Amino acid sequence: MLLSALVVVPAVTTGADEVKPLRLCADPTNLPFSSDDPAKPGLYLEIGQALAQRLGRPVTYSWYKSYFGKRTVRVTLLSKQCDAMIGLPLVDDFMGPAVIFSKSIAREGYALVSAKDRQLTGIDELRGLRVAVQYQTTPQNLLALRDEIVKVTVLSPDEGMQKLDEGKADVAFVWAPVAGWLNKTVYGDKYRVVPTEGEGLLWSTAIGFAKAGSGLRDEVDAVLPLLREEIDRLFVKYGVPNDATIKFGQNGVTGTATAAVPVEPKTEPTTVGQVASDKAPSGGDKQADLAAGQELFNGTCGHCHGPNAVQAERKIDLRLLKKRYGEDMEATYWKTVNDGRPAKGMPAWKEVFNEDQLKSVYVYLQSVQDSGS
Classify residue 309 as left (phi > 0), alpha (psi -120 to 50) or beta: left
149-178 per-position pLDDT tens digit:
999 998 889 999 999 999 999 999 999 999
Dihedral over alpha carbons 53, 54, 56, 62 (to 10 degrees): -50
Cα distance between residue 336 and residue 334, in whole Å: 5
Q: Is the dihedral of CA 327, 358, 269, 59 positive or negative?
A: negative
Q: Give the pLDDT of residue 243.
A: 67
The CATH architecture to which 109-201+244-259 belongs is 3-Layer(aba) Sandwich (3.40)
The CATH class of the 286-367 domain is mainly alpha
pLDDT at residue 47 in the model: 97
Q: Which range among 85-99, 102-116, 222-236, 265-279 shows the weakest confidence by mean pLDDT? A: 265-279
What is the CATH number that goes with domain 13-106+204-237? 3.40.190.10
**Mean pLDDT for the stretch of residues 206-221:** 95
Query: How many of the other CB atoms lie within 10 Å of CB of 212?
Result: 12
14-30 pLDDT tens trace: 444 578 999 999 999 89
pLDDT score, position 11: 41
In this predicted structure, what is the pLDDT of residue 371?
Answer: 65
Pick from 111, 297, 251: which is nearest to 192 by CA?
A: 111
pLDDT at 343: 66
Instruction: Determine the residue type at 195.
Output: P
Residue 299 Rama label (left phi>0; alpha psi -120 to 50; beta): alpha
What residue spans define the domains of the chain? 13-106+204-237, 109-201+244-259, 286-367
Q: What is the pLDDT of residues 36-47, one digit of tens each?
A: 999 999 999 999
Percentage of the chain beyond pLDDT 90 is 47
Topology alike, domains 13-106+204-237 and 286-367: no
Residue 106 has pLDDT above 80, yes or no: yes
Burial of 312 (0-12, 13-18, 19+ CB in 10 A): exposed
Which residue would you say has higher pLDDT here, 91 or 152? Answer: 152
Predicted pLDDT at 18 = 78
By DSSP bridging, strand 270-271 and strand 260-261 are: antiparallel
pTM over 0.75: no
How many Cα atoms within 13 Å fall on the side-chain side of residue 102?
A: 26
